[in-house]
Chain A
Amino acid sequence: MKLKQIMLDHGSGGLASQELIEKLFLRYLDHPLLADMEDSAVFSVPGTRLAMSTDSYVVDPLFFPGGDIGQLAVHGTINDLAMRGARPLYLSLAFILEEGLSYGELEKIIRSIAQASKDAAVPIITGDTKVVERGKADKIFINSTGLGVVAPDCQISLTRARPGDKIIISGPMGDHGLTIMSQRSGLSLSGDLASDTMPLHGLVEQLLDEFGPAIHTLHDPTRGGVATGLNEIASHSKVALEIMEAALPIRPQVAAGCEILGLDPLYLANEGKVLIFVAADKAQGLLNLAHSRPEGREAAIIGQVQEGPAGRVSLITAIGGSRLLTPLQGQPLPRIC
């Protein structure tokens, strides 16, 4: 079908987003580093390898349990750099502000950005601010770009998952997505439901120091969730993945909230989780190390990589059945009953 206009689905991180990128952006912007569609681009300048990544943040509401748009803008770009094994060096931030945004809210966001940047030890070194008329934006949009350095021998990529690899997730899934959805729906879900937004470069750096070449692929399952992230890796690496439903970590309050809202946690966004593909003989050691850090305290092995068919992700359900795990199609919508 020929596209006539941009729909919300095109921003979902699922198949519609992928279609827009492939059919439009990559048609005209065809640099191989862009066409790789990795979390960040890695390239060499004389004497060093760099990683660069950019992302925009438009979350509504601006403040939510566990974080705010400012923290997301810092953590998200740091994490995209870390997913290539890069050590993040610097960030830039660009703001689009809507006329009428309260100064107090903006100050709160900037303070939060300053704290997140300080905690992560990744400074913000350049920026830009534009203000548009009321109604031309929704309060505040933030773009952040990050630059990092990559070790000469680091080859981490979405294309490098190998048959036999174990698949590890660094903690329970769906916390961020469900927090936002429940805020938007106005449902006050019980329990301490909060976004998981956090920087992952510290965890990644330590895992790489210890297990370097055994780690093949890293990916942060943000929009589209774990299911979509796994599908991207399966198709980029031309392998099949088998995921064990019973092994997927999920907080009881997230599972309960998903039941109430008719959502599947496998498709909810995460802002502080990483999927790690590691050679099988190093998987247990890596898991133990992850458990020793706050970012990976609840990490779990959730499946393994198989030869093929290329691109196929299957789920062994808790009761022992088997089915496909497909990428997100459009936005996650609540069911009717």
Chain B
Amino acid sequence: MKHLSEFRDPSLSRSLLARLRTTATRPARIMEVCGTHTMAIFHHGLRSMLPQGVELISGPGCPVCVTSGGDIDAFIKIASRKNVRVAIFGDLLRVPGNNGSLADAAASGAKVELVYSAMDALALAEKYPEELIVFLSVGFETTSPTVAATILAASQTETRNFCVYTSNKTIDPALELLLNDPDLQLDGLLCPGHVATIIGAHAFVPMAQRFKIPCVIGGFEPADIISALLLLLEQVNEGRHEVENGYERAVSWQGNPRARELSAKVFSKGESSWRGLGLLAKSGLTIRDEYSRYDAKERLGITAKEVPEPAGCLCGAILRGQKQPPHCPLFSKGCTPASPIGPCMVSSEGTCAAWHRYGGQQ
């Protein structure tokens, strides 16, 4: 883990921060797209150290947060079926839908397993041959190749008691929607490092050109984030709008074509419903007909219904970067991580959870 301690080196971060202060000669609104960036920024107390005028806005890149209420309700419906065991990433456990959360369902007897990978979910199929294992899949480009690989593995081993409910998404349609919003007025994008390992730095070029916005891919340690912000502010000062890769130890210009091929083999792009953003074309991954026997929606005949956002909840506007958590009347009052109303409070990568947990005002 040496690479971690190096990029957490306080003296390195301090000297980068000093350079950031001299570079920040004008106000700048930067969106950190990815939920992991949001958490890292709060976790390391970076907000308290930024130069005046540099404003960080959290974007829509928390996969749990943008999962629609309709999908969550469908998850609970599936989990409540007899002879079904659902497998999820831990973050999904407490996300509320219209009828409670998967944690509530589990307390009422539903079989809910936390897994670290889709392959772990497939392993459950062997462990519980009498049950149908349904992997409830959320995530962006980083996660989907592993889900695709799992479906291929299930197909190769002819595992019958396994299927996947996909709510997987791709980030670019959401970013385009935000960049088209005349009220948002962003000066730069801190682009998601994990997603970029798969899609490659080059994937952000069309966006940078079309919207004339500086794009810098950043890693997740303090020195990574500060140096990415530095590259962004330099572009702002110089009137450039390019894609720069500030996370070269993990991200290449071309990304990971093999992972993308895996994804494309199993999934096709379709419409997807985003919490706060609505239905976005070509933003969701659907299991191709060839693998439809592993598609939980087909197999269980379940479709997600559109459900209204909870009353008073500003998660939608927060996910669009239009509001900050303290603007929401429910923030830290009716809505806390212990009893969340909106998804931004429940996911550990959610913007509201970060503000609540780490104290955004500091």
Contacts and interface: CB of A to CB of B under 8 A. Distances in A.
Interface of A: 1, 4-9, 15-16, 19, 185-187, 246, 252, 255-256, 259, 261-262, 314-324, 326, 329-330, 333-337
A329 B336 contact: yes
Given A252-B1, A259-B1, A321 B90 contact: no
B185 interface: no
B270 to A, nearest CB: 22
B103 interface: yes
A5 B107 contact: yes
B36 A337 contact: yes
Tell me which of A5, A321, A324, A336 has the highest count of chain B C-beta atoms within 10 A of its own C-beta.
A336
Contact of B337 (A186, A319, A330): A330
Nearest to A319: B13
24 contacts: A7-B104, A8-B107, A9-B94, A9-B103, A15-B338, A186-B120, A187-B116, A319-B17, A319-B46, A320-B13, A321-B46, A322-B48, A323-B47, A324-B359, A329-B336, A329-B337, A329-B357, A330-B94, A334-B114, A335-B90, A336-B64, A336-B91, A336-B138, A337-B36
Given A255-B4, A319-B44, 5 more contacts: A7-B107, A259-B4, A319-B8, A333-B91, A335-B349
A47 to B, nearest CB: 45
Contacts of B116: 185, 187, 261, 334
A5 B108 contact: yes
A8 B114 CA distance: 13
Contacts of A5: 104, 107-108
A316 B45 contact: yes
Nearest to B223: A319
A315 B45 contact: yes
Contacts of B114: 333-334
B139 interface: yes
Nearest to B44: A317
A204 B339 CA distance: 38
B89 interface: yes
Interface in B34-81: 36, 39, 42-49, 63-64
Contacts of A321: 44-49
Contacts of A317: 43-45, 222
B143 A336 contact: yes
B107 A324 contact: no
Contact of B142 (A9, A261, A316, A337): A337
Contacts of A4: 104
A302 to B, nearest CB: 16
B91 A335 contact: yes
A320 B143 CA distance: 33
B129 interface: no
Interface of B: 1, 4, 8, 10, 13-14, 17, 36, 39, 42-49, 63-64, 89-94, 103-104, 106-108, 114, 116, 120, 138-140, 142-143, 194, 222, 336-339, 347-349, 356-359, 362
B170 to A, nearest CB: 15
B300 to A, nearest CB: 23
A246 B10 contact: yes
Contact of A333 (B13, B36, B43, B90): B90
B49 A336 contact: no
Contacts of A330: 94, 337-338
Nearest to A14: B338
B103 A8 contact: yes
B188 to A, nearest CB: 21
Contacts of A326: 356-359
A50 to B, nearest CB: 35
Contacts of B14: 319-320
B216 to A, nearest CB: 19
A8 B42 CA distance: 27
Tell me which of A7, A19, A252, A335 has the highest count of chain B C-beta atoms within 10 A of its own C-beta.
A335
A321 to B, nearest CB: 2
Tell me which of A15, A318, A323, A334 has the highest count of chain B C-beta atoms within 10 A of its own C-beta.
A323
A203 B359 CA distance: 36
B85 to A, nearest CB: 17
Contacts of B13: 319-320
A336 B10 contact: no
Contacts of B139: 336-337
B362 A319 contact: no
A336 B90 contact: yes
A15 B36 CA distance: 24
Nearest to A261: B116
Nearest to A187: B116
Contacts of A186: 120
A185 B117 CA distance: 11
Contacts of A314: 359, 362
B339 A1 contact: yes
A83 to B, nearest CB: 26
Given A187-B116, A319-B44, A336 B107 contact: no
Nearest to A246: B10
Contacts of A335: 36, 39, 90-91, 348-349
A329 B138 CA distance: 23
A323 B222 CA distance: 14
A312 to B, nearest CB: 9
Given A19-B338, A337-B63, A318 B8 contact: yes
A311 to B, nearest CB: 13
Nearest to B45: A321
